[in-house]
Structure 1
Amino acid sequence: MSKEVKPESVSLSPLGMAAAPEQEPLCIFGTGDLGRSLGQRLLQSGYRVVYGSRRPHSCGPLPQGAQVMSHAAAAQSTSLVILCIHREHYDFLETLAPQLKGKVLVDVSNNLKKNLYPEANAEYLHRLLPGAHVVKAFNTLSAWGLQNGPSDANRQVYLCGNSAEAKQAVAKMATKLGFTVLDRGSLAAARELEDFPLQLFPEWRLPLRVAIGLTTFFFFYVIMRDVIYAYVEQGKDISFRIMVSLANKVSPIVSLIMLSLCYLPGVIAAFLQLYRGTKYRRFPDWLDRWMLCRKQLGLLALGFASLHVLYTLIIPIRYYVRFGIAKFTISQIKENRTSEFDTDVAWRSDSYLAMGIVGFGLYILLGITSLPSVSNALSWREFSFIQSKLGYLTLFFCTFHTYLYGWNRFLHPSTYKWYTPPGYMLCLVVPSVVIVLKLLLLLPCVDRSLTRIRQGWERTDPEDDSNKSLLT
């Protein structure tokens, strides 16, 4: 007859869980949303789960198959304890120091804001329980992400700790849950991991600032040229056009500039490599930051292009447009005359619309392929072809679309209200520069040199050809 072993008498090493996860349960302190979600994922992955609670008999619904007991009993039943509780509730853990000695404590806590405490939560926990092995992990995942399993947006688990064996135990558990583990080093990195979830769109800050700055500038610019000019010079109040007409002018302007800003840093980098004669020197920090946010710039540009399409589609149902058409028709009837059909205007109008449709279609293709679920299914050559080759083609069509819109208006003095050019002329500067510079890079002599440099060739001494070598 086998002898029953009480939880209080169990003594396991920190790696007991890693050695036999099917025999030893994992312990979770905390029965909130994160604790329940993490327990559910552990149960689905084949682990046994024990919850530690102050009120074992009234702690609310828990995942089916999990056990619940007091903190002391739960801590004794396992060698790994996951703390899904807030820092302000850590004090009670001091009374459990004997039960938690030698155990692996996984701290998943976060704070409401940065620098709330003088030290990281995990470091405070380590000072509170020096006999335990503290590992910071899982704090960058949400309860929703744990419930739905690893996805493209939250498949990584960052961890840090002073014990290599403790980190190995946590890493094995995270890997079995389907996550990718990234070791950030010792517990000194806990502050960085705890600050990570508090960041609000860190990669979008620069693109958003650019978008807001361009939108603000061109919005007030077109108001000055259209609304204020009409009121001052002609005594007309056309302020109602701000809501649709002016917004439909600003959105394509910002979209085209931001699209060109996606490809301008690549062109600058190419010329910089040609000038230096090597690819092994780092780019300036400002260029690195610019190149890292190209995806966000492109997605924001697509958003403004979509607004332009929606504004354009509602133009026929606007009161201002319907009133203008009716007024023109009545004047034609009263004067007993009919305007003749102009084939040149029809060709220009249809060409302008066709270029816009093709450009927007390619725009959408670029946006779709930037999604992780789509880009992961593409090879590097396919992804590069779409984002680079088709990207420049998109820029060309959208720029050509704007040129057709302006046509020969730049020759008319009335176009320059208060001696200022219209907004669409200003927005053509950056994309035109990008296209011209890209065409220069496509010249055979330039392209050949750039290709050699990117394959490893270095120009060490321009006067001595013997020093030129191809690195392998």
Structure 2
Amino acid sequence: MGTNVMIPLCSDFTDKHDSICIFGTGDFGRSIGFKMLQSGYSVIFGSRNPGDASLLPRAAEVLSHAEAAQKCSVIIVAVQREHYGFLKELTDVLRGKILVDVSNNLKINQYPDSNAEYLAHIVPTASVVKAFNTVSAWALQSGNLDANRQVFVCSDDNKAKEQVMDIVRAIGLTPQDKGSLVASKEIEDYPLQLFPMWRLPMYTCAGLTVLVFLYSVINDVIYNAEKKNDVSFHLMITIPNKIFPVVSLMLLGLCYLPGVFAAIIQLYRGTKYRRFPNWLDRWMLCRKQLGLVALSYAFLHAIYTLVIPIRYNVRHRVEMSIISQIKQNRTRILDKPLTWRSDTYLALGILGFFFYIVLGITSLPSVSNTVNWREFRFVQSKLGYLTLVLCTGHAMVFGWDRFLILARYRWYMPPVYMFSLVIPCIVLILKLILIIPCIDNRIAKIRQGWEKSTSSKSEKK
């Protein structure tokens, strides 16, 4: 009975999968060949030295380039552009074949045309498809494809493209149709980009970190050194624990500031059908990365704050305070207003940090893909502004009335925490103005397609 069930399944499987030819026996050629064999394909390698197949999968057949090409309709070209020359001699053999170009370059814009377009020029009798260049050989061989599952596919031949996309699905990957072969230039540049959406957030974070660090050093270490008081040990914990919350709150404000600017621009123009300035477009596209960098700094602030009680200088100060009270035979009375202020400051910080984490978790693709657009917008917008309010309140209660004490202005420099309030306060004030019903209704109409110019023309008629 088991035999009767298994035979048709095996025959169906072999009928479904054709033979695949692979030109190239390097790392990628071997890895994708191994993956094809696992998925039920028959694999034939085309090699300059068919006799040397020691590193290739045993189940694969190894022939010369011409012999391998004659047996298959789909040929994966797993060689670098510099070695495409041998394909010119196979023009007749490759007539009507599908050539899948998987190559990448060493740097962006290394050649004026893409490798796939160059291959199509060399072998005009074949249909060239660009695919698999975003998948690493290591991921194919190890099976760890979670971060490399998406495969961009493009070609001028739609039938060839569909056939390659079927192969992509058969080996457990997700194809994405990128259109004609013109898109191959962009696809080849994609693996060479090093965190393109992270550059502006990282530069912004680095710039703010350096500025706040220098300001804190001048305001704390150098000022005390001038007063003959060495507090250089503040460089280890105290100053970093000023930098992290200040920069984090600034970056969180910068996440929501471009949205406010966009609303103001749309309100001024009276339409949503005009592009934002390039600087605003770029800023809005990297808001997620800005938020994640801000969250990482908030994490560091929380960790640095937790170690405060075990620091030697803090324990020494507490011990000296106790000894002083004993010597003077006085007991410090509990200050109720200060207690309220301290607990409020900590509560706002804890709640703000909690919602910070919720925002970070929701921005992860594995989570954001499970919620609908309305739910995602609620978390990132409504809860995002709540997080901004809580964190801003945390900084304000921390400062309390310190901004009124002139002694806090060392060398007429305001305390560093005050700088963290500038951007968030601007965002919150502008947002409060934009949610006034008459203004909010106008913005909602514009985003639903209403245009000021069209309305004016209809009123004149």
Contact 1:21 1:47 in 2 (8 A): no
Unaligned runs of 5+ in 2: 1-13
Residue 59 of structure 1, aligned match among 53, 56, 75? 53
Match in the other structure for 1:318: 311
- Structure 1: distance between partners of 2:280 and 2:432: 21
Amino acid at match of 2:96: G
Amino acid at match of 1:220: L
- Structure 2: distance between partners of 1:231 and 1:395: 36
Match in the other structure for 1:210: 204
Contact 2:17 2:40 in 1 (8 A): no
Q: 1:100 is paired with a residue of what secondary structure?
A: coil
Match in the other structure for 1:407: 400
By how many angstroms is 1:350 displaced? Answer: 0.9
Amino acid at match of 1:433: I
1:272-306, CA deviations, whole angstroms, 9 ceiling, x for partnerless residues? 22222222222222111111111011011101111
1:349-377, CA deviations, whole angstroms, 9 ceiling, x for partnerless residues? 11101100000000000000001110110
- Structure 1: distance between partners of 2:414 and 2:455: 45
Q: 2:228 is paired with a residue of what secondary structure?
A: coil
Match in the other structure for 2:375: 382
| Counterpart check, 1:185 vs 2:180 | yes
Amino acid at match of 2:427: V
Q: Percent identity?
A: 55
| Counterpart check, 1:138 vs 2:116 | no
| Counterpart check, 1:113 vs 2:107 | yes
Match in the other structure for 2:170: 176
Specify whether residues 345 and 191 from structure 1 end up closer, same or farther in structure 2 by C-alpha distance, changes over 3 A only.
same
By how many angstroms is 1:455 displaced? Answer: 2.0
Amino acid at match of 2:353: F
Amino acid at match of 2:325: Q
Specify whether residues 314 and 192 from structure 1 end up closer, same or farther in structure 2 by C-alpha distance, changes over 3 A only.
same
Amino acid at match of 2:264: F
Map residues 291-310 of structure 1 onto 2, 5 A cutoff.
291-310=284-303
Match in the other structure for 2:4: none
1:240-291, CA deviations, whole angstroms, 9 ceiling, x for partnerless residues? 2112110110011110011011111111111222222222222222111111
| Counterpart check, 1:289 vs 2:256 | no
Unaligned runs of 5+ in 1: 1-19
Amino acid at match of 1:349: S
Query: How many aligned positions are there?
Result: 446
By how many angstroms is 1:399 displaced? Answer: 0.2
* TM-score (normalised: structure 2): 0.90
Q: 1:428 is paired with a residue of what secondary structure?
A: helix
Specify whether residues 467 and 403 from structure 1 end up closer, same or farther in structure 2 by C-alpha distance, changes over 3 A only.
farther
- Structure 2: distance between partners of 1:392 and 1:63: 56
By how many angstroms is 1:221 displaced? Answer: 0.8
- Structure 1: distance between partners of 2:422 and 2:411: 20
The answer to which of 330-339 and 253-262 deviates more is: 330-339
- Structure 2: distance between partners of 1:426 and 1:209: 19
Specify whether residues 183 and 115 from structure 1 end up closer, same or farther in structure 2 by C-alpha distance, changes over 3 A only.
closer
Amino acid at match of 1:336: N
Match in the other structure for 2:10: none
Match in the other structure for 1:252: 245
Q: 2:177 is paired with a residue of what secondary structure?
A: strand
Contact 1:156 1:182 in 2 (8 A): no
- Structure 1: distance between partners of 2:189 and 2:302: 39
Q: 1:418 is paired with a residue of what secondary structure?
A: coil
Q: 2:273 is paired with a residue of what secondary structure?
A: coil
1:353-409, CA deviations, whole angstroms, 9 ceiling, x for partnerless residues? 110000000000000000111011001111111011000000000000000100000
Match in the other structure for 1:237: 230
* TM-score (normalised: structure 1): 0.88
Specify whether residues 89 and 404 from structure 1 end up closer, same or farther in structure 2 by C-alpha distance, changes over 3 A only.
same
By how many angstroms is 1:335 displaced? Answer: 2.7
- Structure 1: distance between partners of 2:429 and 2:71: 70
- Structure 1: distance between partners of 2:454 and 2:127: 56
- Structure 1: distance between partners of 2:152 and 2:314: 57
Match in the other structure for 1:48: 42
Residue 427 of structure 2, aligned match among 431, 434, 439? 434
Specify whether residues 59 and 405 from structure 1 end up closer, same or farther in structure 2 by C-alpha distance, changes over 3 A only.
farther
Amino acid at match of 1:190: S
CA RMSD of aligned residues (A): 2.4
Contact 1:174 1:181 in 2 (8 A): no
